[in-house]
Structure 1
Amino acid sequence: MKEDKSSLDKLSGYFKKLGCSIIPNSEELQDDFVYYKMGNYVANRNASPPNDRFFETMPIYVRIGMHLLFYSGKKKSLLRFGRIENLLKKMSEREGEIYNDSTKPEEVQTFIQNFIKTYSIDTEDLEEQDLTKYKTRNEFFYRKLKKDVRPIPEPDNTKLIGSAADCRLMVFDNADDAKKIWIKGRQFSVKELINKKGDETNKLPEGSSIAIYRLAPADYHRYHHPVGAAKVVSQVHSGEEFYTVNPDAVNENFDVFTANTRDISMLEWTPADGKPAIPFAFVSIGALLVGSNVFTNATKGSSYKRGEEMGYFAYGGSTCIAIFPPDAKVKWDDDLLTNSNKGIETLVKVNERIGVSEA
């Protein structure tokens, strides 16, 4: 146990001693970071001009650490040493304990101020604007927003699909396209994603449409129902790994989505009155340094409207994935599909329209 703690301290200290710069300070350097898979560009559909790209904010020690851990696949990266995976799990668990610690209020407030500055958080959007009311780092991390800052477009339109989160989004008409363009893990399939290992209870066709909502640390970390009314049919927990959900790992040979700890919800959606309900899956995926996934409005047997809160993630980047079968006849918005087919994520806000069912 002492040896594990010593190794963990060394690994954490090594990353943090590498520095704390957030963004390479020139476009040329940013291009180099992207080329060497130590960073990525994201398109912003709400920018002027639309889909203008930006370089994603991330501390330099995190960039280098992820590169060492996840570049070139498991056989060549640091993860070829089996004990590293165990250390990642312990780091995630320990970070969760730190983020839930309320015994050092001054440190919590210092963290909050630094976090706001680092990630340019707009505190005017917060439901609770008195920062001293946040007693732990996590309470601020999964902060609530004012109800009017993420409006629900066409709330009575049951065919519309909204973004489940503030996120970097990828959408594909067919999960096979996602495998060709974005997800390189060898074990990735719809069946592997939506089932517990050794179980095939949940069923959706491999030709299903897929939306991948990646949350970065800067994002609002509560996620919402993307369609509605939708009824929760079943839920199951699966996976035990704590790989990062950053493109550094997703674009390499790591089974990020099918190995990571995750909660799988099967739901039914009726986009058109008088027609049969359509089953779909919603998967909440934990990641490196994520303390937990908590459902707040996803009770089995209950129905929810589009835009209602579903749950939240504690500290760390995380991902949600929605999978819709061909019967849903999903048509993703053109700009999102165009970016995704080029391998570019798009920044969107929770509840924002991302597609529609033509069923």
Structure 2
Amino acid sequence: MKMGNYVAVRGGNERFFEEMPLYVRVGMHLLFYGSRKASLLRYASVEHLLETMSKKQGVTYDDASNPEDVQKFIKSFIETYELKLDDLAEQDLTKYPTRNSFFYRKLKPGARPIAEPNNDKVISSAADCRLMVFDNVESATKIWIKGQQFSLPNLLGGADKNGDLFPPGSSLALFRLAPADYHRFHHAIGPVKMGEKTHLGKEYYTVNPEAVGENFDVFTANTRQVVLLDWEPVKAKVAFVAVGAMLVGSINWTNSDVGSNGKRGEELGYFAYGGSTCIAVFPPAAKVKWDGDIQANSLKGIETFVRVGERIGESKAAL
């Protein structure tokens, strides 16, 4: 028996069921259902266990000492998640020396076309993911994020601890990556100039909707890294947050030196094993308008499946 949640597909009324093994679902209920005081997370030892498990899993998935075991894992992973291999940059599975090297596999150039590449106002998906978008934090917390401590200052920490850069009315996009997804994340806007990174949090809670929709401060407690981007044509700063999660070994950045330039669609980083989330925060000055189908789904509490480079909205600010 399996359980899970429905995810909308763009271009019609189709939805697919994202299955979850029953034993995983039961475990998540024990950890995350109800108030924190009533769950197993009231015990500090459980939080320590999640951290230890995540770090240990990272070591295991970087282990190249048993090639046969690695190949068994890769083939089982492909079968379990029914992965298509046509888009892989490296299609010879024996060329992946570790589990993680396959997990954060690269794709062929052009495998993820960038929507309207010459339109600097367009916002595209940062990842292959299940996407939620909101015009403000009030909507996000009413419909989706139930952690009582969620606020933009708490999410962004020292990157904007007083809320000066991202005041009320700032828009959010939440890109949730499931284990089966391509696990590299890309610039959602551009051209941009990279700012400094801020490392926050220490927990390793799951980012599955089961936990996000309960009274747990997943996004404001989990280990995460925040980078501020100067969206130069729009003349606005945008915060991009990479959120670690249960069984995620690490957050890795590429082409992200302070002061470097990035284009929409270019790779920004990748997650090691596990599902995780990226969050983009846009100030009111960016005048973001989300695409209607994604916003309509989000207002119903339904995630939309999108891939890297797909258009998800645009800025209405004058260039």
TM range (shorter): over 0.9
Shift of 1:158: 0.2
Superposed CA deviations along residues 94-152 of structure 1, whole A, max 9, x for unmatched, are 11111011001111000000000011111111000000000000000000011122101
Between the aligned partners of 2:162 and 2:228, the Cα distance in structure 1 is 13
Higher relative contact order (CA closer than 8 Å, sequence separation 6+):
2
Structure 1 counterpart of 2:231, one-letter code: W
Equivalence map 1:13-92=2 (5 Å)? 24=2, 33=3, 39-46=4-11, 50-92=12-54
Alignment partners' CA distance in 2, 1:238 and 1:293: 12
Alpha-carbon deviation of 1:343?
0.4
Distance 1:201 1:42, change over 3 A: closer
2:7 is matched by which residue type in structure 1? V
Identify the structure with the greater strand proportion: 2
Name the amino acid aligned to 1:133.
K
Q: Distance in 2 between matches of 1:343 and 1:305?
A: 31
Aligned to 2:133: 171
Q: Which residue of 1 aligns with 2:260?
A: 302
Q: TM-score, normalised by structure 1?
A: 0.85
Q: Find the partner of 1:326 among 272, 279, 284.
A: 284
Correspondence 1:250 to 2:250:
no
Per-residue CA deviation, residues 36-77 of structure 1 (Å, 9 max, x unaligned), is xxx21111115xxx1411111333322221121111131122
2:183 counterpart of 1:239: no
Q: State the alpha-carbon separation in 2 of the partners of residues 59 and 244 from structure 1.
A: 15
* Amino acid across the alignment from 1:107: D
Q: Would you say the 8 A contact 1:195–1:202 is kept in 2?
A: no
Alignment of 1:206-245 (within 5 A): 206-245=168-207
How far off its partner does 1:329 sit?
Answer: 0.6
Change (3 A) 1:105 1:202: farther
Uncovered stretches (5+) of structure 2, i.e. residues with no partner: none
Q: Report the residue type matching 1:356 in the other structure.
A: E
CA deviations on 1:261-313 (whole Å, 9 max, x unpaired) are 000001111345xxxx2011000000000000000122111111000000000
Which stretch shows the higher mean deviation, 331-340 or 194-203? 194-203
- Counterpart for residue 281 of structure 1: 239
The number of equivalent residue pairs is: 317
Deviation at 1:200, TM superposition (A): 4.3
Unaligned runs of 5+ in 1: 1-20, 25-32, 34-38
Match of 1:341 among 289, 299, 302: 299
What SS class does the counterpart of residue 56 from structure 1 fall into? strand
Distance 2:189 2:243 in 1: 19
The residue type paired with residue 347 of structure 1 is F
Q: Structure 1 residues 202 and 309, CA, compared in 2 at 3 Å: closer, same or farther?
A: farther
Root mean square deviation of aligned Cα: 1.6
Cα distance in 2 for residues equivalent to 1:203 and 1:357 = 17
Q: State the TM-score, normalizing by the size of structure 2.
A: 0.96
Do the aligned partners of 2:159 and 2:226 also contact (CA within 8 Å) in 1?
A: no
Deviation, structure 1 residue 195:
1.2
Tell which deviates more after alignment, 125-134 or 189-198: 189-198
Q: 2:75 matched to 1:110?
A: no
Distance 1:68 1:151 in 2: 41
Contact kept in structure 1, 2:153 and 2:161, CA below 8 Å? no
Structure-2 separation of matches of 1:170 and 1:73? 24
2:145 pairs with 170, 179, 183, which one?
Answer: 183
Which has more radius of gyration?
1
1:119 maps to 81
Amino acid of the structure 2 residue aligned with 1:248:
E
SS, match of residue 203 in structure 2: coil
Range with greater deviation from structure 2 (73-82 or 171-180): 73-82
